[in-house]
Amino acid sequence: MTPTSIALNRFGLGYRRDAPLPSDASGWLKRQIAAFDPAPPALGDRAIGSAEFRRVVEDSFAYRDERNEARKMAGNVEERRKMAQSRKQQVRNRLVGDIALRARIALESETPFMERMVHFWSNHFAVSADKPHVPLLVGPYEFGAIRPHIGGYFKDMLKAASLHPAMLAYLDQFRSQGPASQAAKAREKRGALERGLNENLGREILELHTLGVGGGYTQEDVKELAKALTGWTLQGIPYAKRARPQENGAAFFGWIHEPGSRTVLGRTYAEGQAGQAFAILDDLAEHPSTARFIATKLARHFAGDVPPEPLVDRLARTFTESGGHLPTVYEALIDAPEPWVEQPVKFRQPWEWAVGMLRASGDIALADRQFVQMMRALGQEVWLPGSPAGWDDREGSWAGSNALLRRIEAAERFAAETRLDDARELAEAMFPGSLSETTAQTIRGAESNEMGFALLLVSPEMMRR
């Protein structure tokens, strides 16, 4: 691979049809850091504000109540079914629209390296639309909590993502109640069942978002962080009507917050209501284990499934010295030699393969639902990872025979829709100076231009970056 091809495909999202090829690969990438627009015009009002989050959550609870009411309705089974289906379709339409919007931004972006970083960080702070309330929140989560912070400090993105309504709903944080909170005491006095402390978010912040496994935390740290996080909940939920709305669209309800100081990783944090969690997250963001964990994930994403230790060391040092300033870390990544090796180092995930295919063709018009169906067929449904760990980006997760067959089927289907005149010319633009003679001969020998395009889409150059 040439530097230009590496910049386009390993760092970016692939060649965009009719776009000029960069003459200065590393400079082109660095200029994107400053040029990135976190709120492009296509986004419109989907990075919704605090009042809108309340309405979304209220709508979600209304959907639940209507569904429960429908189940109670006697006799008219058809009416019950129609009521449930109508509401479910409304939720589904919003989710499909947000997924299509994410794809459209990626296809049209003139800063594809930074768009790749949006997808990287969204997967790092993964949430899934298969949990109640999340389908209506997941789009605004990426648009409003991830995109605005990829060009800033890690600690700000950590706080924005961890305390966003989508994350609070996904990991059931909004249900968590301090064991010594006013709410717990009142429930005990009434003889009501205890709601209980939920440790999910505290555990995932330590294990998946900051320190990583083996990063030096204990189960007691998980519990202490979970207690500090109590009180963070959703606007619009019935039992927290007196909660204070927060700027990020969440709410803080002191009634369920665990009082007192908390000790995490040996440091004690005074009682501070909502601010207690902020203080802990700020320190976690700058912990040496966090620097190494983030550096390892970045190195794995850009330099191979087995991240080179020298690159990890340099990125971790840059992260620490800059206080987690992400643009500085990106520049260190671009300046490093390891991501620029000539051999392909990564197998493309379905998302980046599909986006690369559509960016290159430039003329395949997919309906919103078609794109969602394609990603389901390829095995990587958008915003539906199998766990809070997000999608794995190593080859073993994506290079199985069935997965490859699905890509071949998708390539044939979409090659039939393109009106491209010359697959050979497109191949040279997609992989400048990097197209193997074998692939070039295969495309030249195709029975038709359509077949040539399909073969290009499943070529080794397109499968790897």
pLDDT tier for residue 74 given thresholds of 50, 70 and 90: low
Give the pLDDT of residue 224.
Answer: 99
Q: How confident is the model at residue 68 (pLDDT cuts 50, 70, 90)?
A: low
Note the pLDDT tens digit of each residue in 337-390: 999 999 999 999 999 999 999 999 887 778 899 999 999 999 999 999 999 999
Is pLDDT above 80 for 84? no
Cα distance between residue 18 and residue 361, in whole Å? 10
Cα dihedral sign, 304-306-311-313: positive
**pLDDT band at residue 83, thresholds of 50, 70 and 90?**
low
DSSP assignment of 18-76 equals TPPPPSSHHHHHHHHHHH--SS-GGGTT-S--HHHHHHHHHHHHHHHHHHHHHHH--S-
pLDDT on residue 242:
87
Residues 78, 56: Cα–Cα separation, whole Å: 27
Whether 302 shows a pLDDT value over 80: the answer reads: yes
The model's pLDDT over 137-172, given as tens digits with 9 standing for 90+, comes to 999 999 999 999 999 999 999 999 999 999 999 999
Give the pLDDT band of residue 207 (cuts 50, 70, 90).
Answer: very high
pLDDT at residue 95 greater than cutoff 60: yes
Nearest 5 degrees, angle CA 227-CA 232-CA 233? Answer: 130
Q: Are the CB atoms for 412 and 432 separated by under 8 Å?
A: no
**What is the DSSP secondary-structure string of 119-174?**
HHHHHHT---TTSTTGGGTHHHHIIIIIGGGTTSBHHHHHHHHHTSHHHHHHTTGG
Summarize pLDDT for 186-197 with one digit per residue, the tens: 887 876 666 799
pLDDT at position 220 over 80 = yes
Q: Measured between alpha carbons, how far is 308 from 315 in angstroms, rounded to an integer?
A: 11
pLDDT band at 237 (very low <50, low <70, confident <90, very high): confident
For the segment 415-440, the average pLDDT, to the nearest whole number, is: 92
To the nearest whole number, what is the mean pLDDT of the chain?
A: 92
Return the domain boundaries, the chain.
Answer: 3-34+347-463, 288-340
The pLDDT score that the predictor gives to residue 138 is 95
Pairing verdict, β 250-252 and 267-269: unpaired
* Residue 236 pLDDT: 80
Rounded mean pLDDT, 420-425: 87
How many helices (H) and strands (E) the chain has is answered by 22, 5
**pTM assigned to the model:** 0.94
Q: How buried is 363 (Cβ within 10 angstroms: 0-12 exposed, 13-18 middle, 19+ buried)? A: exposed
Residues counted in the chain: 465
* Distance from C-alpha of 290 to C-alpha of 153, rounded to nearest angstrom: 13
What is the rounded CA–CA span in Å between residue 2 and residue 425? 17
pLDDT at position 71 over 80:
no
